[in-house]
Structure 1
Amino acid sequence: MINIQGLGFRFSLFLVVAAMLVVLTTAEFFYRVTYENEIKEANRDIEELYQTVAATASIAAFLEDEDLAKEAINGLVKTDKILAASIKSDALYYQTNVTEAINKNTESRVFVVRHPFMPEEAVAEVNVYPNFEYIINQAEKTSIDNSYSLYAEALVVGIVALIITYYIIISPMLRVGRSLHQITPGTSQRIPIPKYHSRSEIGKLVYDTNQLLNKVEEQFTQERQLREEIEFLEKRFRMLFENAKTATVLMAENGTIALRNDAFNDLVEKTELGIKQGYGELLGELFETPEAMKAALKETFARNEFATGEYKLKSSSNDSAIWVQLIASPLLTEEGERYYQLTLNDISSRRQELQKLALQADFDALTGIYNRNGGEKLIAKLMRKEHQFALALIDLNGFKAVNDIYGHDAGDEVLIFVAEQLKEKIRKNDVAIRWGGDEFMLLLQADDEESVKRVIEKVNAGVKQPFYFNNDSKPTVVSMSVGVSFYPNTSSNMHALIKLADIAMYKAKQNKIASPDDYLIFVDQCRLDDENIE
C-alpha cells in the first residue's frame, strides 16, 4: 500500500509536478518560437523563389514577352508555399490562381521588377500570394513534433531521476527509518549505515542518530541507578519524616493534608481539637489568628521565599497557651500542582521564658509598671512613629523621711501605692513608668498644657492621700514635684527631652518650698536651649 504521507511518495509527486511544469512551460515556449521561425522561414523561401525568377520576370517585362512572363509566374506557383502570383506592367499582365487567393482574403506580397539594364528604373511588379494555410499547418506540425520530443525527453529524464532518487536517497532513508522504528531506546541496538553512504548526509544522519542512542542508553542506565538510589532515599526519608520530633505536614492547595507525621498528630492532640483530614487553607483552623497568619505567609510566597513566624494555636484547654514557630514553603510539582510544606516547632516553653525575661527587663519588680529600660524603649518607639506626647517627670516629696523613720518596707508600700494611683488616674492610652528610686514618669498622649494639667491634678489628688504607719496617729503625706516637656515641640532628642523635664521638675521642687500648690512646671517656663543640655 502506498503511503501518501511518505517521503518517497511526496518527493516523487513533487518531482513529477515540477517536471510537468517545466516541460509545459518549455514546450509552450519552443512551440511559439518554432512556429514563428517557420513563418519567417516561409517568408524567406518566398523571397528566395522570387529572386530565382526575378531575372526572367525583368526580361519578360522589358521585352513584353508573355511566354517568359508565364514561365516566371508558373515557376513561382509550383511550390506549395505560394498559392497564386501575377505580373503586371504597362504592356503586359499575366496571373495564376489570383481569383482563388482573393476569395480566401489572402494578402499579396509585392515585388518591384527592375529594368535589366537600368536597375534604378521599375518596369513591372510581381504580386505573390503566400499559401498561409499550408505555411501555418507546416509550422504547427513542426512545433507539435518538437513539443512531443520535449515531452518524451522530460518523461525519460523524470523516470531516470525518480529511479536514481529512489535508490540513492529514498530507499536508504526508508531502511534507516524502519531500523530506527524497530530500535528500543536504552538498548544496545543501533542503525546500520547504508551502503555507499558512509560519507553522505544520510550516513552523517545515521551516525548522529547512533550517537544520540548511545547517550540515551547512558542516560537510561544512569536513570535506573538514580531510581534505585531514590527508592532507597525515599525509604530513609519516610523513616525520618515519620519519626521526626518536629510536626511536619505536606498539604495540597485546597487544604487537604497529603502527608503528616506522628509529631503533628501529637501537637494537634495537645490542642484537643481532634485529628481530621484537613484544617482549612494553610492549617488556618488550628491558629487563633488565621487571617493574619495566612496574609503574612501569602505575602512571603509572592516573593518566592519561604515564610516563618511565631503564632498561637487554638486550644480547648485553658491551662497553658501553645505557641509554635511556623516554617512554610510552597512546592510546585512537574504537573503544575501546588503544595505547601509546613513545619510547626512547639516553642511554648521558650515563649514563656522570653515573656518572663521581658517582664524582668522592662517592668519594675516592685510596682509592676514599666521600669526605666522599658520606658526608654516606649519613648523611642513613639518617636519613630512620630507621635506627639508629653513627658512628665515626677519626684516624690517626703519619701526619704518615710524610709528614714519607718524603714524600707514602708517606703516600698508608698512606692506601690503611688504606682497604683498613677495607673488608676491616667487615661487608657497613657503609660506610667518607675524611672528610678522615688522618681516616676508619665507618657501622656497630649500636646497641650491644659490636657496635661488635668491628668496631673487627678494623679496628685490620689497620691496626696495620708498614710498611717505603725498605728501612728499622725498621718504621713507625700506629694509630687512635676516637670513636663513635649515631643517634638520641646525637643526631638530623647536625652534632651528627659533632661529638660528633669530641670523643670527640680524647678518645681524649689517652687514648692515657697508655694505648696506650685508643684507643676512646664519646660517653656524655664526654657533652655538644646545646646546647653549635655
Structure 2
Amino acid sequence: MINKSSLIIRLTIALALSGFLFGVIYSKLYYKSVYADELARSKTTIEQIGQTVSTTASIAAYLEDADLAIEVLNGLISNDVILAAKIDTDTQTLAKSLLYKGQPGNQFVLSHPFIPTANVGVILLVPNEVFIRQQASSIASDSVETLVLLIIPMLVLFVSLAYIMITRPMGVLFKQLQEIPPGESQRLRSPANHKDSEIGQVTKSINQLLDKTQSLFNQERELRKAISVLEQRFRLMFERASTPTLLVKSSGLIELANDAAQDLLVGLNVSAEETFPECLMPLCKSPDSLDSLINDATNQGQVKQMEIEFESALTHLPVWLNIVIIPTESEEGLYLQIFINDVSYRRNMINELKQKAQFDPLTNLNNRYGAELKLRFWLDNQIPFALLLVDLDKFKPINDIYGHNAGDEMLKHIAANLKECVRNDDLVARWGGDEFIVAVPHIAKDGLQKIASHLVAKTAMPMPYEKDNQSLELKVSASIGIACYPDHAETLHELIEKADNAMYSVKLATKNDFAFYHL
C-alpha cells in the first residue's frame, strides 16, 4: 500500500518532471525559432550588402575598370557573411575573389549609370553558409541558456507552491482516508487553510461518500442478519420436514436432499450422490412413466404429479411413491423441486378394499359388483361379448347332507374348473349363491359352443371329499343359459334376464346342458 511519504514524493516528482519536460520542449522550440530568425537576418544582411555595393559595381562594370571591381570585391569578402564574389559584364568576368570556385549565390543586376532601364552586368555574392549557421546556432544556444536560467527558478517556485498547496494537503487527506475502517463513523478533517478551497470541497465530498458507505454497510449488516435468520429457519424447515424433498438441477445433479429423502433413498438402496432420475430407474416398474413425468415438468414448466411403483433393492417388495415435481427458474438455470411420498400403505389398503369390494373371498373370483364393473366397461366401449349364466344342479343336497363345508369346497372346485375353460382375459365370476357367470368377448358361435360344452363337462366332474374318515366323490352338474351382446340385448339388466331365461329352459328340460337365448 502507498504511504503518505511515497505519495507526496511521487506527486512532487511528477510535477517536477512535468515542468522539466515542458521546459525541454519549450527550449527546443525556442532554439529553433531563434536559429531560424538568425538565418533570415543573415539573408537580409546579404541583400542589404548587395544593394549597397551595386552602385559602385555598376560604375566599374560600365567603365570595365577591373581595379575598381577588385576593390569592390575586397570590400565584400571582408564581411564574414560573404564567402566569395564576382562581377560580370555583358562580355567578360571583370573580377572575382580567390575563393570563388563557380558556386551558386545571390545575383544582383547592375543597372546602367545613366540609363536606368539598361543593364551593364551582374554581381554574384556567395554566402558563407558555415559561418552563418555557426553564428545562428551560437546565438540560439545563448538565448536558450538565458531562457533556462529564467525557467529553473520559476519551475522550482512552481513545484514548491504545488507541493505546499496541493501535494502535501492531498497526502494528509490520503493518510486520513487510509486510517478510516470501512463503515465506521470517522471522517476526514480539512487540511489547514483549505477549509473553503477546492481541497476542502473534495474533503466534504469524500465525507458525504463515507456517510453513504456507512449507511450501506449498516443496511448490509441488517440484511445479512435477516438472511441468516431466514436461512436457519429454512434449513430447520427443510431438513426436519417429514416429506422427502430433493432439489435437483436440470442436469440431474442432486443439490440438496433433506433427512427424510436420505432415509427414503437408503431404504431403496440408492445413493444421493447419483443423478436423478437415473438413480431410481433400475428399481422402477414403469421407467417410461418416470421419464415422461420428468420431461413434461421440464418442458412445460408446470407442476406434475404421478404415483409410480418401484421395487426395493433391499426387501424386493413393491414400493409405491407419489412424486410431485415443481420446476423453478433461477439465475443459475432450471431447478426441480421434487417431493416424494411413500404411499405403499395407502395403495395396499386400496388394493385390499378393492379386493374385498370386487372379489368373492371364498372362490377368489370377481363377485357381482366386480363383474358388473367389467361388463359395463365392455358395454360402454361397445365390445361384443357372450354372457353364460351357470346355475348348479343338485348343489343343495350336498349342503344338506354333508354340511356347508362340503358346499364351500364344491364351490371352490367349480370355480377352479370354470377358470380352466376360458382365457385369461375372459371373465369368470360368482354371481351369487351357487350361480356363476362366464363372459367371453369377441367370440364366434362355434367357439362359444365349444366353451359351453367344456363348461358343462368340467362342472360335472366329481370332487374328492373326506368326511368321517370316508373318501367320497361329490358331484353336481350345471345348467347354462347364453345371451350375446349386442345380438340379444343392449343393457346389462336385459342381457342377464335373457341368459336367465335360457338357463331355466335347460333346468326345466334335461339339466346338465346349455342353451342359447332365442328371440
Answer yes or no: same fold by TM over 0.5.
Answer: yes
Partner Cα separation in structure 1 for residue 279 and residue 83 of structure 2: 118
Give the Å deviation of 1:54.
1.6
Counterpart for residue 351 of structure 1: 347
Partner Cα separation in structure 2 for residue 28 and residue 379 of structure 1: 113
Partner Cα separation in structure 2 for residue 222 and residue 324 of structure 1: 40
3-state DSSP class of the match of 1:99?
Answer: coil
| Alignment counterpart, residue 187 of structure 1, candidates 154, 175, 184 | 184
Counterpart for residue 46 of structure 1: 46
Partner Cα separation in structure 2 for residue 317 and residue 443 of structure 1: 39
Matched, 1:477 2:474: no
Structure 2 residue ranges without an equivalent (≥5): 463-472, 506-512
Amino acid at match of 1:432: L
Give the Å deviation of 1:321.
6.7
Counterpart for residue 119 of structure 2: 122
Deviation per residue, 1:205-238 (Å, 9 max, x gap): 44224311232134325535765x4698589x38
8 Å CA contact 1:467–1:477 kept in 2: the answer is: no
3-state DSSP class of the match of 1:87?
Answer: strand
Matched, 1:133 2:130: yes
Quickly say closer, same or farther: Cα 1:212–1:442, change in 2 above 3 A.
farther
Amino acid at match of 2:352: K
3-state DSSP class of the match of 2:98?
Answer: helix
Counterpart for residue 314 of structure 1: 312
Within 5 A, what are the aligned runs for 1:28-427? 34-65=34-65, 68-89=68-89, 95=95, 98-102=97-101, 106-145=103-142, 171=168, 173-192=170-189, 195=194, 196-197=197-198, 200=201, 203-221=204-222, 223-224=224-225, 227=228, 229=229, 233=233, 237=236, 246=242, 260=259, 281=274, 290-291=283-284, 310=307, 314=312, 325=322, 345=341, 347-359=343-355, 367-368=365-366, 370-374=370-374, 391-396=383-388, 423-427=419-423
3-state DSSP class of the match of 2:427?
Answer: strand
Amino acid at match of 1:52: T
Counterpart for residue 466 of structure 2: none
Quickly say closer, same or farther: Cα 1:190–1:368, change in 2 above 3 A.
farther
Normalized against structure 2, the TM-score is what?
Answer: 0.61
How well do the aligned residues superpose, as a CA RMSD in angstroms? 6.4
Deviation per residue, 1:482-510 (Å, 9 max, x gap): 3479xxxxxxxxxxx9789x99x989x99
Deviation per residue, 1:72-120 (Å, 9 max, x gap): 3343233211123233337996646x22242xx7433322211022122
The number of residues matched between the two structures is: 465
Quickly say closer, same or farther: Cα 1:32–1:141, change in 2 above 3 A.
same
Quickly say closer, same or farther: Cα 1:54–1:279, change in 2 above 3 A.
closer
8 Å CA contact 1:84–1:128 kept in 2: the answer is: yes
Deviation per residue, 1:451-475 (Å, 9 max, x gap): x678645533333335699x99995
Give the Å deviation of 1:51.
0.8
8 Å CA contact 1:173–1:202 kept in 2: the answer is: no
Structure 1 residue ranges without an equivalent (≥5): 384-389, 486-496, 522-534
8 Å CA contact 1:251–1:259 kept in 2: the answer is: no
Deviation per residue, 1:132-180 (Å, 9 max, x gap): 1111112323444556577778877876776666566655554444334
Q: How high is the sequence identity, in percent, across the aligned residues?
A: 22
8 Å CA contact 2:388–2:483 kept in 1: the answer is: yes
Normalized against structure 1, the TM-score is what?
Answer: 0.60
Amino acid at match of 1:204: S
Counterpart for residue 461 of structure 1: 453
Quickly say closer, same or farther: Cα 1:436–1:44, change in 2 above 3 A.
farther
Quickly say closer, same or farther: Cα 1:277–1:424, change in 2 above 3 A.
closer
Matched, 1:432 2:427: yes
3-state DSSP class of the match of 2:185?
Answer: coil
3-state DSSP class of the match of 1:100?
Answer: coil
3-state DSSP class of the match of 2:479?
Answer: coil
